[in-house]
Amino acid sequence: VQLQASGGGLVQAGGSLRLSCAASGRIFSIGDMGWYRQAPGKQRELVALITSGGSTNYEDSVKGRFTISRDNAKNTVYLQMNSLKPEDTAVYFCNARVTVPSMNPIPLWYWGQGTLVTVSS
């Protein structure tokens, strides 16, 4: 299973970006999918999470500005980021709880490679 993240870049404060993360490989099902970020010198933190049923949860500082969504047919999760602030600058990672086909299927968390978001003031 591989998760490929894309969509990062350089944007001015107040601007928008849309991140995408597509899962590929031998996939039986995907449960929760999420976006994390890690700023220089800081720990990785959860930004947003979406369940297989579409329920969402957001870190307080991004509520009202970021929207997480998913396309189950494409095994893809998105993060629409609006009203970006310099403090949103970080490497953004996607992850997903994936069950692969097997005699004893157990869901495991997989991570994407990260995509850099830089917000200039």
Give the CA radius of gyration of the chain: 14
pLDDT in tens, 39-75: 999 999 999 999 999 999 999 999 999 999 999 999 9
Q: What is the pLDDT of residue 34?
A: 98
Q: What is the pLDDT of residue 67?
A: 98
Q: How confident is the model at residue 77 (pLDDT cuts 50, 70, 90)?
A: very high
- pLDDT, the chain, mean: 97
Q: What is the pLDDT of residue 102?
A: 87
Interior angle at CA 45, CA 40 and CA 48, nearest 5? 130
Torsion over CA of 105, 96, 32 and 64, rounded to 10 degrees?
180
Instruction: State the Cα–Cα distance between residues 87 and 60, nearest whole angstrom.
Output: 13
Task: Name beta bridge partners: 56.
Answer: 50
Interior angle at CA 20, CA 15 and CA 24, nearest 5? 170
Instruction: State the Cα–Cα distance between residues 61 and 100, nearest whole angstrom.
Output: 34
Residue 104 pLDDT > 90, yes or no? no
Q: Which two tokens stand for residue 10?
A: 């350089």
CB 19 within 8 A of CB 78: yes
